[in-house]
Structure 1
Amino acid sequence: MSNLPALKQDIAKMGGEFGKALPGHITADKFVRTTQTAIALTRNIDKVRNPQSLLAACSKAASDGLILDGREAALVIDNNGDVQYRPMMRGLLKLAYNSGALKSLVVEAVRENDLFDYQPTRSAEPIIHKIDLKSARGEVYAVYALAMFKDGGIVHEVMTVEDVNRIRDRSDAWRAHKAGKIKSTPWATDWSEMARKTVFRRLSKYLPASSDRDDRLAQAAERIDEDYTFEIDAEPANGNAQAQVQPAAKKRGGAAAALKDVTPPKQEPAKGKAQSKPQPAQDDDPPDYDPETGEIIEYDGPDQRPGDDI
């Protein structure tokens, strides 16, 4: 970890800039100290090739108002040696409660042996979920998010495992993991966490904004999984090197976009060969979805935007 002291020093130098983005209840000094501890504990921190990506990741966390303590948010090193920022479920729930309008908020997985009664037309109590912790609960078959407001209103979202996996299957990181080209992705190691974040993202569109800054909740909830699920390549079983999978180009601007140009170079056609006809861009997303975590999904089923991965 020869570059660890230098990375910590870079973080300290950025304290003033972080302070400008942080909400009032988080001091720049606290954010810097927590982040310095976080990078020391981050797996593969010695493989960081681009220190600017660390500063960009930390700037995102500060802008969202989340501490990089592994509970509210965390850092991940991708297969290119860049640092990526991952908002966690606890951090998203904190931002939701910051509005002061919520009485309760539940984001939970439903298992085969739970008692689960879902009636969307029963407006006063659309979901009844009882868990018997004395017996095996069985496999997950659905996830849901339900928020009750202090004024008596209720909003909820329910997704089946199939609904969640349709979103997972659009993830470049998941496809790369299935192909054996990257070592891990949260969709493989922490499916329940990713599923809960997925259904929460749908719900968060209907939640009031954080009181300290209007866009913090939506901003954090829109962080797409391509921004943080690529990790160091796995070693192939036969010892042969595998090609690295490049992350998809970011769909939004911002610090990360300014730090690294991921546009592939234009290929000139070989002499004497006809150039293939350009193909139209594929965009099966609903035209009124505002794409990383920035509005939450409005559409269910296979017509969701590919960028709606958590």
Structure 2
Amino acid sequence: MTQQMPIKAQGEPTKELQQKAAVDRFNATLHQMQNEIARALPKHMTGDRFVRIVLTEVRKNPTLALCDPLTMFGSLLTAAALGLEPGLNGECWLVPRKNHGTLEAQLQVGYRGVVKLFWQNPAATYLDTGYVCERDEFRFAKGLNPILEHTPAEGDRGKVVRYYAVAGLNTGARVFDVFTPAQIKTLRGGKVGSNGDIPDPEHWMERKTALLQVLKLMPKSTQLAAVPAADGRAHTISDAQQILGGVDTSTGEVLDAGWHQDGPVES
């Protein structure tokens, strides 16, 4: 008996046609929201450029156009509020992911995005991260006389045994912390390495996690408090508005009314 192949109903759109229609709808809606996006961006960025970058990302990954529009535009506005350009130089990415059966656009902040936001603060003077392998020379101590010394080995350095991050301000303050791979894995919710198939031999995602932890120890005006809340999740437009309320759109600096550069002030 010959098995018959299922026949697509006449007029039923193919996946490619569905994606094209979704991209066209997204394109139209994005241009309608261009003024709102421009208002969210820091003053040194333009809405035209941001829209072009987003359209390029959607053309490269049409599945983004099929995501829940509330999460897609919420994540876009969140990226705009932080002054990060999706897909460009690894500042952030829009990632389509299923959540309880709904395809959402999640915002993933990259290492370079965190670094960019840190250096936008006028008090920032020093930033470094690294990974330590078992054949490296490494010494650290905390307390009243902190020490952090790292000399990478030449050739085969062995497996990674530590991650660290250091940040400094123009007040002379420097803060660092050191983490084991197990600690970083826990902080990342069990994730190891980069998301997807992108190779990450320099362990940038783990170093980003270490850096975010160190920035929590800095004065709140340089804490990048919005990034941990924004990273790795889908957003609504109200999420973006909350973040925008805590960001100086002229500089991209995260604001906190309870801290001045000279120290905490009484509320």
Name the structure where strand makes up a greater proportion of residues. Answer: 2
Partner of 1:68: helix, strand, or coil?
coil
Aligned equivalent of 1:254: 238
Deviation of 1:188 (Å): 8.9
Partner of 2:108: helix, strand, or coil?
strand
Aligned equivalent of 2:85: 67
Find out whether 1:94 has 2:119 as its counterpart: no
Checking the alignment, whether the CA contact within 8 Å between 2:165 and 2:176 is kept in structure 1 is yes
Checking the alignment, whether the CA contact within 8 Å between 1:142 and 1:159 is kept in structure 2 is yes
- Read off the aligned partner of 2:175 and give its amino acid letter: V
Partner of 1:82: helix, strand, or coil?
strand
Q: Deviations over 1:57-95 (max 9, x none)?
A: 101101111111341111100023221111111010110
**Where do residues 197-208 of structure 1 align in structure 2 (5 Å cutoff)?**
197-208=208-219
Find out whether 1:222 has 2:226 as its counterpart: no
Taking the aligned partners of 2:136 and 2:34, their CA distance within structure 1 comes to: 47
- Read off the aligned partner of 1:88 and give its amino acid letter: G
Aligned equivalent of 1:164: 184
In structure 2, runs of 5+ residues without a counterpart are 1-18, 241-255, 257-267
CA-based RMSD: 3.3
Aligned equivalent of 2:152: 131
The verdict on how the C-alpha distance between 1:156 and 1:49 changes in structure 2, with shifts beyond 3 A counting, is: closer
Taking the aligned partners of 2:54 and 2:179, their CA distance within structure 1 comes to: 34
Taking the aligned partners of 1:223 and 1:114, their CA distance within structure 2 comes to: 34
- Read off the aligned partner of 1:13 and give its amino acid letter: Q
Aligned equivalent of 1:266: none
Aligned equivalent of 1:16: 35
- Structure 2 counterpart of 1:145, from 127, 145, 165: 165
Runs of 4+ in 1 over 6 A off after TM superposition: 187-191
Deviation of 1:51 (Å): 2.5
In structure 1, runs of 5+ residues without a counterpart are 178-183, 229-249, 257-294, 296-310
The verdict on how the C-alpha distance between 1:187 and 1:119 changes in structure 2, with shifts beyond 3 A counting, is: farther
Taking the aligned partners of 1:109 and 1:72, their CA distance within structure 2 comes to: 21
Aligned equivalent of 2:205: 194
The structure showing larger relative contact order (alpha-carbon pairs under 8 Å, at least 6 residues apart) is 2
Partner of 2:78: helix, strand, or coil?
helix
Deviation of 1:196 (Å): 1.6
TM-score, normalised on structure 1? Answer: 0.61
Taking the aligned partners of 1:91 and 1:209, their CA distance within structure 2 comes to: 18
- Structure 1 counterpart of 2:70, from 52, 73, 78: 52
- Read off the aligned partner of 2:187 and give its amino acid letter: I
Q: Deviations over 1:250-286 (max 9, x none)?
A: 9x99348xxxxxxxxxxxxxxxxxxxxxxxxxxxxxx
- Read off the aligned partner of 2:169 and give its amino acid letter: F
Partner of 1:117: helix, strand, or coil?
strand
Task: Calculate percent identity across the aligned residue pairs.
Answer: 25
Taking the aligned partners of 1:188 and 1:153, their CA distance within structure 2 comes to: 38
Taking the aligned partners of 2:36 and 2:217, their CA distance within structure 1 comes to: 31
Deviation of 1:44 (Å): 3.6
Taking the aligned partners of 2:25 and 2:137, their CA distance within structure 1 comes to: 53
Taking the aligned partners of 2:84 and 2:114, their CA distance within structure 1 comes to: 9
Taking the aligned partners of 2:171 and 2:67, their CA distance within structure 1 comes to: 50
* Structure whose CA Rg is larger: 2
Checking the alignment, whether the CA contact within 8 Å between 1:111 and 1:139 is kept in structure 2 is yes
The verdict on how the C-alpha distance between 1:189 and 1:31 changes in structure 2, with shifts beyond 3 A counting, is: closer
Deviation of 1:116 (Å): 1.2
